[in-house]
Structure 1
């Protein structure tokens, strides 16, 4: 009888000493050393009170093992669910990232086309004053505004004429 208590006390001490690793080993031992719980029959006389105590301890130990199994099963299920949610999130993230890349690629192509067109128009003029003059309405009837801009128009034309000479 004392051997039974000493073994359980040494297991508890090992668990406290080793911490998490000890708990893992104890859990593993609980599953690997599982045998049918039958009363130990010895040639020595065991009083009915001692036998009841042993039976109660065995029942408690069996309950503890079953609780550990249930807890382990629940943890495995939760872990699997979290893993599945993570994989789904990762797939959605990858899809969204690919869509964003395609959108950026299209936008960059449009920007590049606009830059190419602007560069073609820029290379069209030999003189920067020609480009300025082409953006301004130089004839009297072309100007849509109400202010008189004839002096400014004249100054730009004179500058252009001076540069082209």
Structure 2
């Protein structure tokens, strides 16, 4: 036999306090939600991440969660780059296969003979660009370079030439 409950009074006012704690917002949720932001600004301060979480998710989190979320995003991006650097050998082989006269050189360092290779530099000179440079460009050569910032520091150098019709040819070194 079912028992019926009777409502004797209904109060529409709430006396409970608002809580800004939620155990479901863990490190993985923060890392996934702010992956693009942390990826664009890898040196973002923990306090800034904490403020963003509070303003966008309306949750108070401690610095430890913010630190772990930032580390998780950085490790994910570092893992992607390791995977991409390992594919450079495939890229070089494909370029050589399509046009054997291209000049492709890759340099790696090994700390010990058993250690995995550590990427140092990658040089590509396409045969068609080199031939076009020799046949049609003026003897004006511009050199440009910049320093790379971010997790992989280094330099990017480019040789730039201009032909008679003012088209630019760019060679990256």
With the shorter chain as reference, the TM-score category is under 0.3
Higher relative contact order (CA 8 A, sep 6+): 2
Structure holding more helix per residue: 1
So what's the TM-score if we normalise by structure 2? 0.24
Structure holding more strand per residue: 2
Larger-Rg structure: 1
